[in-house]
Amino acid sequence: MDGVLVHEEHALPGAAEFIAALRDKDIPFQILTNNSIFTPRDLAARLRATGIEVEETHIWTSALATATFLADQIPEGSAYAIGEAGLTTALYEKGYTLTDTDPDFVVLGETRTYSFEAITRAIRLVSTGSRFIATNPDVTGPSGQGPIPATGSVAAMVTAATGREPYFVGKPNPVMIRTALNRIDAHSEHTAMIGDRMDTDIVAGMEAGLRTFLVLSGSTRPEEIERFPYRPSEVHDDIAALLERLG
């Protein structure tokens, strides 16, 4: 989503036209984001404000993928969740009980205001046996003033205090890609990943068996590509360059 379709509150070149072409040609698609703060309704509204028309069902977040994963592991289980509406709503909708008393899982997501008290509670619960899950491994997130700590950084704090590593569900874990494929009944052989990050989007798509298209409209600069031991199928300036592929 960010870096491919939008940057801050503006659509990137070709983004609205690309999504419109997918809709017009009835090509199934999912818009993926590791951001676990917002619900699909929130994100669809944000995209519409930039001129990109999508439905909530087109959006797949790390929070939704995490809730789906947990429901498969322990149906109607319990969790102590650190996060915002995107995460707590996803867990509720999967029948999960949110509690700070002996939960099955401690689930760490992203929030604008990480609480020392909440992190302390998470550390104690993980130390006494709750399974440790995190929505995504991103260590920083963007803000108007510069980078801010994100899920991966806070997860490292919990790991340092407990010796327990979390299971990250979001990109680059191919679990998030496979669940997105299932939502649109797609097969990896006929699906492509378009992303702006080598370390999440491209590696996740590659490991899930998808063709991968790196666009340079977001986080990755051309000279950075060679630093990675894998390559995307193709590299383009932005998503506008892929419009012709849709016919």
Amino acid at 146: G
Q: Is the peptide bond before 172 cis (omega within 30 degrees of 0)?
A: yes
What's the CA angle centered on 57, arms 71 and 205, to 5 degrees?
Answer: 75
Residue 109 near residue 9 (C-beta atoms within 8 A): no
The tens place of each residue's pLDDT in the chain, 247 residues long, gives 999 999 888 999 999 999 999 999 999 999 999 999 999 999 999 999 999 999 999 999 999 999 999 999 999 999 999 999 999 999 999 999 999 999 999 999 999 889 999 999 999 999 999 999 999 999 987 666 777 889 999 999 999 999 999 999 999 999 999 999 999 999 999 999 999 999 999 999 999 999 999 999 998 999 999 999 999 999 999 999 999 988 7
Q: Strand 140-141 relative to strand 148-149: parallel, antiparallel, unpaired?
A: antiparallel
Amino acid at 233: S
Could you tell me which residues are beta bridge partners of residue 167? Answer: 133
pLDDT of the residue at 201? 95
pLDDT of the residue at 63? 98
Among 165, 191, 166, 167, CA closest to 177 = 191
Residue 15 near residue 239 (C-beta atoms within 8 A): yes
Among 233, 196, 235, 226, CA closest to 3 = 196
pLDDT of the residue at 144? 67
Rounded Cα–Cα distance for residues 198 and 59 (Å): 21
pLDDT of the residue at 148? 82
Rounded Cα–Cα distance for residues 173 and 145 (Å): 29
Q: Calculate helix-pair angle for 62-73, 174-183, nearest 10 degrees.
A: 90
Residue 58 near residue 183 (C-beta atoms within 8 A): no
Token look-up 């867990």 returns 91
Buried/exposed 143-174: b ≥16 CB within 10 Å, e otherwise: eeeeeeebbbbbbbebbeebebebebbbbbbb
Cβ neighbours of residue 72 closer than 8 Å, sequence gap 6 or more: none
